Structure 1
């Protein structure tokens, strides 16, 4: 019996997949695939995966819920998903989770989606800004992670260990266009011989594309500027709620913008050069081809940075500053409401009057 383990990476459509799995868990079970929901947090299995990987007793209740669910629910295959798994797979002890699943009697198959670094870094940066976790520039983020940013070649030991039981997929332009949901479900469909029925579940996707950012340069400047001005002692939930509210309000206030890009072509080339050797090593091992062959049009792209400070867009900077100054007066009340689990809707026309 298979256990399919979706391990990310971050910014490769994982949230879209997890939303699809969670919302359609009952329908998937009718096709024989169990996506455990009782042991899921935020629609994924990160707490469960950490508990199984570390053997920690801190989350033993999650493990018990998981073991009870797989024991009582009929299934032909098990499906787990957590981006965190891709992080631990890079480490020497990264196989513990897989070994645990195997000890339960499953045949584990691990899926990892790899993405070209320039696009991934820009997307990760926007995620950090939009979730109120980072207020610096893209260059600041790159400098901060220069010595710790993981190389894809760190997956090589797991290829040696798991062989065909670890599957790498290129999150390239073609795959993004067709949708990661369709790609992943087609892999399961083929292995379980479901004759296209699983692939059809991709049509149920709500269209969330967490890997595709819609924030423009003015909104990015507002989020960065406001993050520097509000108190630091915000919980993850408070940051999430506050950022979500600001994004919704400012998007309606600003109107359509070109998607933010913090990269220019020279920076993208430098990132590509830094990762070229490691990328080719994993591509040869996983696909028997070069990274360039696997990612095609993603390689060597030209980028036009539209950060307001780079383009010296005075009108955009002034518009962002005006919104920041107004939002600074509103956010303390919103934070208090979030702590009281209340976050009312406010008309942007009134807020920015």
Structure 2
């Protein structure tokens, strides 16, 4: 472990569906204020023709802007670098494969140049890095990269109650128009694959005494104020921040129904035109927001199935929680009562059925139009 006076890198890696979008939006907005107290938010994704890593800037101007990201000069937020704050591009698999040193990858070489002249703390946030954290060789490459630069590496990872976490992952999976899988089948799949077992998820940093690994309860952070809690963890306790609307909300039971209907009707066509899947994703989010669908969020669990999932994870959750927090998992996360909320055309009103069908039809026309353009 490095001595206390050495440089510190706070590396936040999510995982997905633990508020990363909101944290990254806050980092973009508060980068200047953090810089004034010596905390450097690392530069964002490089830009260039055809470069996927340039997308965060477009998303900030479009998608995140539509969800109420407030950029207030009066609070000192000033002009915002739209790429800064989201470093998920660093977790791209091609940066790691076939490389002995991360600095041989252009993305990581650029990061090395960006942080070289900063003597104070550096902040990096990218949920795609989580996949690399799980891979023993890639994890080792990340740790070596920072230790060679005399950084103490402080990893920040969040955990959630599995009921809410699995539900959020499912909604995101459908939102991204990747498959029309039903919730019950999806649940069986992730349980079988052990995707949400805490000890397995974080095995590499838990076993590594070269790093400081800070596990954060998502539920506790939400109660404290997610962005405020994160600022405090990276040395930004003095930075003022106004809480705002969540950046990437559940797009509602109707949104899930529409996305699955589009996939059932047009799924085979979505990869026929470049960018079509992403364009549909953003358009459906716009519609869901405009129609207020997020006010009735999708929930695939009922109380019985939620209890079954909590029972399944109880032993491993409690062992992990007592190790990391000194308390039982239910004491840390609490127990949220849930009620299944899925759109059912049979019980919906005529207006609701018409609203949903109009959206499916409109997205179908959008697909046809994009395919016609080639």
Q: Which band: TM-score by shorter chain?
A: 0.7 to 0.9
- The aligned residue for residue 128 of structure 2 is 84
User: Residue 163 of structure 2 aligns to a residue in which SS?
Assistant: helix
> Cα distance, 1:8 vs. partner?
0.7
Distance of aligned partners of 1:253 and 1:176 in 2 relative to their CA distance in 1, 3 Å threshold = closer
User: Residue 308 of structure 1 aligns to a residue in which SS?
Assistant: coil
User: Residue 183 of structure 1 aligns to a residue in which SS?
Assistant: helix
> Does structure 2 retain, via aligned residues, the 8 Å contact 1:49–1:85?
yes
Q: How does 1:1-353 map to 2 (within 5 A)?
A: 1-39=7-45, 41=53, 42=56, 43=83, 44-50=86-92, 54=97, 56=99, 60-72=105-117, 74-93=118-137, 94-148=139-193, 149-154=195-200, 155-156=202-203, 158-162=205-209, 165-172=212-219, 174-189=220-235, 196-198=237-239, 200=240, 202-203=241-242, 207-210=245-248, 212-213=249-250, 215-230=251-266, 231-233=269-271, 237-249=275-287, 251-252=289-290, 257-296=295-334, 299=335, 301-309=336-344, 312-313=347-348, 315=350, 316-317=352-353, 319-334=355-370
Gapped regions of structure 2 (runs ≥ 5):
1-6, 47-52, 57-82
Distance of aligned partners of 1:323 and 1:15 in 2 relative to their CA distance in 1, 3 Å threshold = closer
Superposed CA deviations along residues 111-159 of structure 1, whole A, max 9, x for unmatched, are 1111000001111111122222232221121123232224101225533
Higher normalized helix content (fraction of residues): 1
116-125 or 153-162, larger mean C-alpha shift: 153-162
> Cα distance, 1:336 vs. partner?
6.2
State the distance in 1 between where 2:233 and 2:175 align. 32
> Does structure 1 retain, via aligned residues, the 8 Å contact 2:162–2:196?
no
> Does structure 2 retain, via aligned residues, the 8 Å contact 1:111–1:167?
yes
> Does structure 2 retain, via aligned residues, the 8 Å contact 1:9–1:112?
yes
User: Residue 104 of structure 1 aligns to a residue in which SS?
Assistant: coil
Distance of aligned partners of 1:170 and 1:249 in 2 relative to their CA distance in 1, 3 Å threshold = closer
> Does structure 1 retain, via aligned residues, the 8 Å contact 2:90–2:129?
no
State the distance in 1 between where 2:144 and 2:159 align. 23
Distance of aligned partners of 1:187 and 1:260 in 2 relative to their CA distance in 1, 3 Å threshold = same
Superposed CA deviations along residues 156-189 of structure 1, whole A, max 9, x for unmatched, are 55334238710011111x4224332111111222
Aligned-pair Cα RMSD in Å: 3.0
State the distance in 2 between where 1:48 and 1:255 align. 34
TM (norm. structure 1) is: 0.80
Distance of aligned partners of 1:317 and 1:29 in 2 relative to their CA distance in 1, 3 Å threshold = same
> Does structure 2 retain, via aligned residues, the 8 Å contact 1:49–1:97?
no
User: Residue 10 of structure 2 aligns to a residue in which SS?
Assistant: strand
Superposed CA deviations along residues 213-271 of structure 1, whole A, max 9, x for unmatched, are 2x222232112101222213167843222122133235545767522211111111111
State the distance in 1 between where 2:173 and 2:254 align. 16
- The aligned residue for residue 346 of structure 1 is none
> Does structure 1 retain, via aligned residues, the 8 Å contact 2:96–2:105?
no
78-87 or 235-244, larger mean C-alpha shift: 235-244
> Does structure 2 retain, via aligned residues, the 8 Å contact 1:34–1:75?
no
Superposed CA deviations along residues 305-326 of structure 1, whole A, max 9, x for unmatched, are 1212498447445642343234
State the distance in 2 between where 1:335 and 1:29 align. 46
- The aligned residue for residue 50 of structure 2 is none
- The aligned residue for residue 350 of structure 1 is none
